Amino acid sequence: MPELSVFNSVSLDGYFTDDNNNYSFAHEGATDPEVMKFTKGNAQGANALIFGRVTYDLMSAWWPTPAAAKAMPEISEGMNKAPKYVFSRTLDAADWSNTTVLKGDPAAEMARLKQTPGPDMTILGSGTIVAQLTAAGLIDDVQLMVCPVLLGAGKSMFAGVTGKPRWTLSRSRTFKNGRVFLAYTRAA
């Protein structure tokens, strides 16, 4: 049974975008050689990628381009080859290779996908989807790249989640540029 992970960059005050949906803070320091090596290694997995429509639009506008292939060849190759799912009520078809559009309830669709054979899955961005799937108990692993910046306001990936789900730290790494990677598994 595939596992479902989340990977997102967050500010020190816990936001994955500012209050204008801007996530450019996540790119500051991302080209540090130590962080790039980690990112390349983390992107080498064979996971399927999960997006909400807004994140999908951002990703599909960048990763298939020659500029992405030139800037980050290994990551670009992995992003383009990976199977991808996008939750959308408005898209009828996806224009990025290996992408399936899911139109149903995110929790029901993800519960179904988790019951089928296939690779593990990782949600990138997509805060609304993350919150819905967390509330439904479908997220197995949360990976956060904490960026040393305070946004003061913004969007939490877990807005509206109730019940105080518990998580256990499974691994961590501190980078010289102040970023910290934290991975948590859902507590039993």
Q: What is the CATH number of the domain that holds 27?
A: 3.40.430.10
Going residue by residue through the chain, which has 188 residues, state the pLDDT in tens, using 9 for 90 and above: 899 999 999 999 999 999 998 888 988 877 788 888 887 776 666 789 999 999 999 999 999 999 999 988 888 888 999 999 999 999 999 999 999 999 999 999 999 999 999 899 999 988 899 999 999 999 999 999 999 999 999 999 999 999 999 999 999 999 999 999 999 999 97
What's the structural domain count of the chain?
1
Q: How far apart are CA 64 and CA 105, in angstroms?
A: 28
pTM score, whole prediction: 0.90
Domain ranges, residue 47:
4-186
Q: Of 25, 26, 21, 80, whose CA–CA distance to 55 is shortest?
A: 21
The sign of the CA dihedral 148, 154, 156, 157 is negative
